[in-house]
Structure 1
Amino acid sequence: MTILTLPKQQVRIDQGELVGYLVDGHELIHQKGNPGWRNSDTEMFPIIGPTNEADFKVKTPRGEAFQDQHGLLRELEYELLESTETKAVFEKRYQANTPIKNSKYPGKSAAPELFWPYDFNFKKAYHLKEDGLEICFEIEGEDGMPFMLGYHPAFNLATEHPIIKTHEKEISIPEVMAVGSRALQVPKESSIILNDQLELTIKTEGFEHFMLWTEVPNMVCIEPITFYPYAVEQANLDTGFSYLEGGTVKRFKVFIYPI
């Protein structure tokens, strides 16, 4: 377990996963074992969305790749590169075309192995600051590599009627639940507010949208994404790709500001 601390704040990280964020005694992160989801956070990379209707195949410039829902990154293990009282950096590395066992097979998937036809390095860095928590993602890979990125944190809900606020409207938890597994799209937003036990502001850099998901009233996933996958047929998921440019590192940031 990696622990970051500042006065009135504590962050707990388990092998790269954000499993706790305490602010003035309030736990902001969904706890494993509670109803809703078996994780606390994860990443969606190099794709977002399900692939079962496309036989788990995704088109790339180098041919078809086998990917299960939300990509193969979550099947890899993080390595801790750096750790201080207020900062921790983790990394995953992948070599092109390496077969990766799919943990969903056979119970929840018909794809026993997954692969991606590009090399990449993926870093996830936590930085605890006086005003909140910054999470930075760095993607380094081959020139022209297609990708999508989504961050999938689950927030603990402690009050009876929490509200999610965007620039244009307010969204209730029952509204999110009504959408079901597809997740509710919040397009063209870089900032969103969760009013619950605290007023929690989630701001992003690099991401273009959010999507919201929950099936229970005690937690909600507020997910920054580069592409909303349910806007297209699964066979056309490639239309939502961004692309790496040669020699560059793409950076994306999520800021969690508790008030």
Structure 2
Amino acid sequence: MNYRLENDDLCVEFTTRGGGLTSIRDKSGREYLWQGDPLYWSGQAPVLFPICGSLREEQAVTEDGKPVHMPRHGIVRKEEFKLEFMYKDKICFSIVENESMLSQFPYRFRLSITYTLKEKQIQVTYGILNRDTANMPFFIGGHPAFNCPLDSGEDYSDYKIVFEQEENCTVPAPVTETGLIDMGTRTLMLEGSDTLRLNQDLFKKDAMIFDQLKSRKIQYIHRQEQKGIQLEFPQFPYLILWSSNNNGPFIALEPWSGLSTCSDEDDVLEHKRNVLIAEPGLLEELSYTITIL
């Protein structure tokens, strides 16, 4: 099922399949959200839970010995969510585990996704409730992708990413064959700069994984015009930038709470970097915000 929120600035559409965004249009009709052309990537803005990225051979184990078997980005992004409520400026979807999910991730949970529309801003809030009797390790992330370029007659390289602060950081190497991360191989990406000019060669070897950023706000904007997207992610330690390696006309701006299994990590879920632990009956909430500029 598809739903819509609308105000004087934006028209935003959603689907119960994956509980995700399907359209963000301003009043001029400009579409900001990637529309999922399967020639490049059929997704749009999936929700990644209870892992972000990949496990080693799609397997892990919990500290108390429970097996975990999950594909890349977890177990909910292709599932049907339930509409919890819809108001003029807010909509909420939710999902609870089923037997198939329990066979992959051995915890009972409720995941809600609430979208709040205010002027040109969309706040995305994840609510993770542990419905089990044991502590639940988890990760969660967003994967919204945006058209790049935004308008016809423009080029991918007309756009840039501007970081909130000047950054000095390297990025680890993604291992494309496995979906994992080689922490021992790093590339200098920003050196005393707050700007990354976009070009599609950046993604020939997969994503850029920013695990050393000071910034918790970025802008994806045209290099001359002040049009584009602002992403604020104060609760997420990682930012992933990605596009398909066949010159996909989009850029994904992804706030993640965790990463794919790294070369210096074992396969115990609770040992992974920045693992979140929800106690039984405890609701954890994380939010990020998309603003149309």
Report the TM-score, using the length of structure 2 for normalisation.
Answer: 0.75
**Can you list the C-alpha shifts for 1:16-51, whole angstroms capped at 9, x where unaligned?**
220100123221100122643101111111112223
Whether the 8 Å contact between 1:204 and 1:252 is mirrored in structure 2 is: no
Which amino acid in structure 1 is aligned with residue 242 of structure 2? W
* Distance in 2 (alpha carbons) for counterparts of 1:74 and 1:153: 12
Runs of 5+ consecutive residues of structure 2 not aligned to the other structure: 167-193
* Distance in 2 (alpha carbons) for counterparts of 1:195 and 1:187: 22
* Distance in 2 (alpha carbons) for counterparts of 1:187 and 1:251: 23
Which amino acid in structure 2 is aligned with residue 194 of structure 1? Y
2:45 counterpart (41, 54, 71): 41
Q: Are residue 72 (structure 1) and residue 103 (structure 2) matched?
A: no
Deviation at 1:220, TM superposition (A): 0.7
Identity of aligned pairs, percent?
20
Residue aligned with 1:80, SS: strand
Residue aligned with 2:77, SS: helix
Q: How many residues align?
A: 243
Q: Are residue 172 (structure 1) and residue 169 (structure 2) matched?
A: no
Whether the 8 Å contact between 1:212 and 1:223 is mirrored in structure 2 is: yes
Aligned to 2:210: 185
* Distance in 1 (alpha carbons) for counterparts of 2:51 and 2:211: 18
Q: Are residue 26 (structure 1) and residue 51 (structure 2) matched?
A: no
Q: Are residue 56 (structure 1) and residue 63 (structure 2) matched?
A: no
Please report the RMSD computed on the Cα atoms of aligned residues, expressed in angstroms: 2.3
**Can you list the C-alpha shifts for 1:156-184, whole angstroms capped at 9, x where unaligned?**
11242210111223223326733633443
Which amino acid in structure 1 is aligned with residue 113 of structure 2? K
C-alpha spacing 1:211/1:176, structure 2 compared with 1 (3 Å): farther
Runs of 5+ consecutive residues of structure 1 not aligned to the other structure: 101-112
Aligned to 1:134: 123
Report the TM-score, using the length of structure 1 for normalisation.
Answer: 0.84
* Distance in 2 (alpha carbons) for counterparts of 1:156 and 1:187: 26
Residue aligned with 1:41, SS: coil
Deviation at 1:214, TM superposition (A): 0.5
Whether the 8 Å contact between 1:211 and 1:228 is mirrored in structure 2 is: no
Q: Which has the larger radius of gyration?
A: 2
Deviation at 1:91, TM superposition (A): 0.2
Report which stretch shifted further, 40-49 or 243-252: 243-252
Residue aligned with 1:180, SS: coil
